[in-house]
Amino acid sequence: MDDTIRIGIRLARPADAGEIAHVYVDSWRDTYANILPEAGLLKMSKAEHTMGWARTIKASNLRNPVLVAADTKQNVYGFASAGPSRDRSLPYEGEVYTLYVAPGWTGQGLGSALLSSVFRLFSKANYRGIIIWALSDNPSRFFYEALGGQIVAERDHTMWGRKMREVGYGWPSLEGLKPTSRIGRGAPLPPTNA
């Protein structure tokens, strides 16, 4: 029996909200353990985040998408949400709001496949440029540099009473996503059912 897990990228459906919340909360607790206050991380509620993601998915569309990396049994291993940039003072029209891969599934090409699908949708929607904000203390931010993003802005952000520095990675062109060893060098891109 072939028990290979086949993961593809597709638009999120309302029924994915619980799985997305699961990945989101697990990834926050794992990624920000020594960065954000522990009490805040412990208080995160999967039930509340499920309701929040259900609303976000309901309001999503091709210019404001939520994408999941999921298998055929609807298990979600990673997700991304994106839309118009929330900082109109910067010359980047699109923004990736969230990008998380489940702990244990990182480093296998899912993050770059999700990001690549957002770039493809934004290119079709004629967005000019993309920005992604990351905590400067988050070592995962170097992923954006590996994919060709450059630091174009910095800002402070207070999270659960702790002042944090954020860096904005920009791509002025939607063609600027650098290929990685898994995506863009001949490896098949998971289909986006968009």
Ligand X SMILES: CC(C)(COP(=O)(O)OP(=O)(O)OC[C@H]1O[C@@H](n2cnc3c(N)ncnc32)[C@H](O)[C@@H]1OP(=O)(O)O)[C@@H](O)C(=O)NCCC(=O)NCCS
Q: Which residues bind ligand X (CB under 6 A)?
A: 27, 31, 99-101, 106-112, 134, 138-140, 142-143, 146, 180-182
Q: Minimal distance in Å, beta carbon 1 to ligand X?
A: 27
Q: Which of 15, 111, 100, 11 is nearest to 62 (CA)?
A: 11
Is the Cβ of residue 64 or residue 140 nearer to ligand X in the bound state? 140
Contact 16, 68 (CB under 8 A): yes
Q: What are phi and psi of 166, to 5 degrees?
A: -120, 145
Give the residue at shortest CB distance from ligand X.
Answer: 111
* Token representation of residue 14: 């309302």
Q: Minimal distance in Å, beta carbon 169 to ligand X?
A: 9
Q: Which of 69, 77, 24, 88 is nearest to 190 (CA)?
A: 69
Cα(100)–Cα(23) distance, rounded to whole angstroms?
7
Is the Cβ of residue 53 or residue 100 nearer to ligand X in the bound state? 100
Q: What are phi and psi of 61, to 5 degrees?
A: -155, -175
Q: Minimal distance in Å, beta carbon 136 to ligand X?
A: 11
3-state helix, strand, coil in the chain (%, to 5): 30, 30, 40
Q: Minimal distance in Å, beta carbon 184 to ligand X?
A: 10
Is the Cβ of residue 1 or residue 188 nearer to ligand X in the bound state? 188
Amino acid at the residue 112: S
Q: Minimal distance in Å, beta carbon 26 to ligand X?
A: 10
Q: Minimal distance in Å, beta carbon 179 to ligand X?
A: 8
Is the Cβ of residue 58 or residue 103 nearer to ligand X in the bound state? 103
- C-alpha 187: how far from chain center: 21
- C-alpha 112: how far from chain center: 9
Is the Cβ of residue 2 or residue 5 nearer to ligand X in the bound state? 5
Is the Cβ of residue 60 or residue 117 nearer to ligand X in the bound state? 117
DSSP for residue 190: P
